[in-house]
Chain A
Amino acid sequence: MDERRGTPEQAPGGTPTDAQRMDYRMDLLISYVLRGGVTLSAGLLILGALLYYARVFSAGTPAHPPPFPHTLAGVFHGLAQGDPLAILSLGLLVLLLTPVARVVVSILAFARERDRLYVAITTLVLLILLVSFLLGRGGA
């Protein structure tokens, strides 16, 4: 077996290399971003669901399914009016943007580690994502 990355016992308890330390730092940072996005989103979703169903419970189910905001402006307008559906949409938006936030943060983190190759790779991924958003808006 080829084990050129050190003995198996090394990484958790032994003396990790600089590269390993860098990888571990990166792992923790990315994990924080994902956890933060997920926690914020879940909090908003739980809050919005409680408010929405409390309202339904006291006022009864609306005859027609209520319209929900699906633009940024619509979401913020709804939030200002205390619409529980807007809180839910915001929670979902936070969830949908979490992977994008993760890409942005990894660019910064690779830059801090002076890892130019991976700054380039992750920037490329972000650019492709942006292009896809623009294409989507164009109705493609």
Chain B
Amino acid sequence: MPTEPQLLFFTLVLLASLLAGFVGSLVGIGGGILITPVLTIFFGVDIRLAIGASIVSIIATSSGAAAAYVRDHITNLRVGMSMEVATTLGAIGGALLAAVVPTAALYIIFGLALAFTAVPLIRKFGEELPQGVTNDLWAVRLRLASSYPDQRLKRTVPYQVTRVPLGFSIMALAGLLSGLLGIGSGVFKVLAMDTVMRLPLKVSTTTSNFMIGVTAAASAGIYFQRGDIDPLIATPVALGVLAGATLGARVLPRLSNTALRAIFLPVVALIALQMLLKGFAQLLGH
């Protein structure tokens, strides 16, 4: 009889994680934004263990979805690997600064930054592929230009890459953010590639998906050794997210970039709102 609440917990967390993995695999984020509040608010899980589970969810989304996206040649490996230099460096910087930087201010600053980036996103609404982009010097040096087969458009789409140094800087910021707050790095990665470097949106979200696993791995060891990754909580999260991400990776190739943007924009808005709320809650709590 007392087994039932445990199995119910397992099933419900599995289902919530399935949804998080599905959405996360489409828009290039780790799903921690959904997992952490669901675990803490609905199931009363300790925040420390919820964050540990969200690290697991990021890596599960990343590896589960990227296995398919890389095989399907949608992910740009060279962009991903070059930019990982920035995100991992940023993550270390964030971890080092975490003790001295007030997180309330950070949540508010990044929440506002994210809200502002929604403006160019709205302007880009309806844009299927970026037009008139030419490689900058770094894109040529790093051979970042590529092409991807678009199932929806039924052709291979060649593309070029621009403003690499600015993109690199925003990637470092994304890493810093994940080192400091443990969340929100995927959305800034997508924005760096979509809005700044002007990659097609599918390439941006799938390449972000590819990268978030490595950014999260940089701190996963710490969480594991600290005992923040409770297997009874992280297991349904991992299994649910893996299933959801596998499902998402089957859907994304069939979506148009325009449809994907219609999913991405509300996610950005929600994350911005969540960060602002968190920041103000912390500010008032002190």
Interface residues of A (CB under 8 A from B): 1-6, 8-12, 19, 23-24, 26-28, 30-31, 34-35, 37-38, 41-42, 45-46, 48-49, 52-53, 56-57, 60-61, 65, 68, 70-71, 85, 88-89, 91-93, 95-100, 102-103, 106, 117-118, 121-122, 124-125, 128-129, 131-133, 135-137, 140
Q: Of B85, B156, B158, B238, which contacts A121 at CB under 8 A?
A: B85
Residue with the greatest number of chain A CB neighbours at <10 A, chosen from B3, B71, B156: B156
Q: Is B66 among interface residues, defined by CB-CB distance under 8 A?
A: yes
* Complex CA–CA separation, A96 to B234 (angstroms): 11
Q: Which of B34-89 contact A (CB under 8 A)?
A: 55-56, 59-60, 62-64, 66-68, 70-71, 73, 75, 77-78, 81-82, 84-85, 88-89
Residue of B whose beta carbon sits closest to that of A11: B156
| B232 contacts A by Cβ under 8 Å | yes
Besides the known contacts A24-B73, A136-B95, 4 further A-B residue pairs in the complex with CB atoms under 8 A apart:
A117-B142, A132-B91, A135-B92, A136-B219
Q: Tell me which of B145-153, B255-263, B266-274 binds A.
A: B145-153
Q: Which residues of A contact B222 (CB under 8 A)?
A: 133, 136-137
The reply to whether A132 and B156 contact each other, CB–CB distance below 8 Å, is no
Query: Which of B102-110, B115-123, B195-203, B223-231 contacts the other chain?
Result: B223-231
The contact of B217 among A24, A61, A71, A96, by CB within 8 Å, is: A96
Task: Note all chain B residues with C-beta closer than 8 A to A100.
Answer: 214, 217
* Chain A residues within an 8 Å CB radius of B239: 42, 45-46, 49
Given contacts A60-B2, A65-B232, A68-B232, contact A99 B63 (CB under 8 A): yes
Query: B142, A70: Cβ atoms under 8 Å?
Result: no
Cross-chain contact of A34 among B67, B89, B142, B229 (Cβ < 8 A): B67
Query: Are the C-beta atoms of A27 and B70 separated by less than 8 Å?
Result: yes
Using CB atoms, name the residue of chain A closest to B53. Answer: A92
Main secondary structure of the interface of B (DSSP, over half): helix
B285 contacts A by Cβ under 8 Å: no
The count of residues in chain B whose C-beta lies closer than 8 Å to any C-beta of chain A is: 68
What is the bound-complex CA distance between A115 and B283, given in angstroms? 50
- The residues of A that contact B59 with a CB separation of less than 8 Å are 95-96, 98-99
Interface presence of B218 (CB below 8 A): yes
Knowing A28-B71, A37-B63, A132-B95 are in contact, say whether A99-B85 is a contact too (CB < 8 A): no
Query: B96 at the A/B interface (Cβ < 8 Å)?
Result: yes
Complex partner residue of B232 from A12, A19, A88, CB under 8 angstroms: A88
Q: Are B147's CB and A129's CB within 8 A?
A: no
* Docked complex Cα distance between A106 and B156 (Å): 25
Interchain CB contact under 8 A, A2 and B88: no
Give the shortest distance, in Å, between A4 (CB) and chain B (any CB).
8
In the bound assembly, the distance between CA atoms of A19 and B95 in angstroms comes to: 38
Q: Is the CB of B156 within 8 A of A9?
A: yes
Say whether B284 faces chain A, with CB atoms less than 8 Å apart.
Answer: no
B216 lies within 8 A of chain A by Cβ: yes
Question: A53–B63 contact, CB under 8 A?
Answer: no
Q: 21 A-B residue contacts at CB 8 Å?
A: A2-B160, A8-B155, A9-B155, A9-B156, A12-B149, A23-B146, A27-B71, A31-B66, A31-B68, A38-B60, A41-B242, A61-B6, A68-B227, A88-B232, A91-B238, A96-B217, A96-B229, A99-B59, A129-B218, A133-B222, A135-B95
Residue of A nearest to B213 (CB): A99
Contact B217 A70, beta carbon cutoff 8 Å: no
B67, B224, B226: the one within 8 Å of A38 (CB): B67
From B70, B131, B235, contact of A92 by CB (8 A): B235
Q: Whole-angstrom distance from the CB of B174 to the nearest CB of chain A?
A: 15
Interchain nearest-CB distance for A50 vs B (Å): 11
- B282 beta carbon closer than 8 Å to chain A: no
